[in-house]
Chain A
Amino acid sequence: MSFLADLVSLAAIGAGVFFFIAGTVGLLRFPDSLTRLHALSKADNLGLGLIVLGLIPRAENPLAAFKLVVVWALVLLSGASTAQLIGRALRRGRE
């Protein structure tokens, strides 16, 4: 059972790290701010979500697992809002 949990952790955290790396490469390589924002949100939302998923089996108790999910939810909220704000500020700047 613990072997299975470890396997889930390994797979999810590995996938999360992949999305973080992909997002970082996009952040460095994409041509303009809007596409860079797009890359960043993949790392934040999907990458962090997968890492949290991988950490849940390793949490000490259900409350700690819940806190991990709350951290992810808060990052989702602030990430989405700031991406909107930056995107709108960019569009205003272009007009």
Chain B
Amino acid sequence: METLLSILAAAVRSGTPILYATLGEILTEKAGVMNLGLEGIMLMGALSGFAASLSTGSPWLGLAAAFGVGACLGLIHAFLSVTLGSNQVVCGLAMTMFGGGASALAGRGYIGMTTPGIGAWEIPLVSKLPIAGRMLFSQDVMVYASYVLAVFLMFFLSRTRPGMNLRAAGDNPKAADAMGLPVARIRYLYTIIGAGLVALGGAYMSLVYNKFWAEGMTAGRGWIAVAMVIFAIWNPLRAMLGAYLFGGVEAFQLRLQAAGASVPAPLLMMLPYLMTILVLLFISVGKGRKLSLSAPSALGIPFYREERE
């Protein structure tokens, strides 16, 4: 029981970086822009969060720095994909390479350092609940903020005017434009905010989850987040499910490794990636129709006012 509880709690913790990245990407994709550079943005977020919190002594300023750096990278992606209409897949790959390389270079002086980072803070009363108390409410503030963010985004996307405008820009930019919505400006805005959230996911890795910086420390989590967006069918609440499922497998395999399981470590470390493929297959086969209905129709397609008929 104790083991199970600790795995559940660890599942939420290791799912949280993915959750931030997934939520950021949902926001961006719903507006019609596909940003595949998550891995690079997360790494830049992890590094800038770590560096800023070391130099200022405040992890909160570290988070702010990570968001800022992520937003700048989002601006680059928005400029290339919205204004210049570049191929968004290739643009995302470029971002992945740039972010990976730039964080490695800029982070070379930070290897081996640690930060106090952000510690756990149990929420009074609810943390005493059975199971849920330990799993959900004995975490850190960033985890609690991610719950709020997921619920808020759900509400924002489905129930508010700006949220509907955002979806219009992603589903039918031509109609949105005819309604007088500034499609380009909307796409810019949510690509920038989305990338900022992605970077927060990276900063969670270096400030909370590990409390150190290492080259390439996200180990494919950015790409897993791209997969989780599809698994979540662009629904922020389902994104929580996907992220924690991934976190659970991660926590489970780490626990097995620590317990000295007879299965070799490299094979255990395959599990999260294998599960990502399986989950994607499962959702594509099972919900293929719902998937194509929920996907933003104009995802990845540039829109030029000049070219409307």
Bound pair (A, B):
no
Q: Give chain B's interface residues, CB within 8 Å of chain A.
A: none
Using a CB–CB cutoff of 8 Å, the interface residues on chain A facing chain B are none
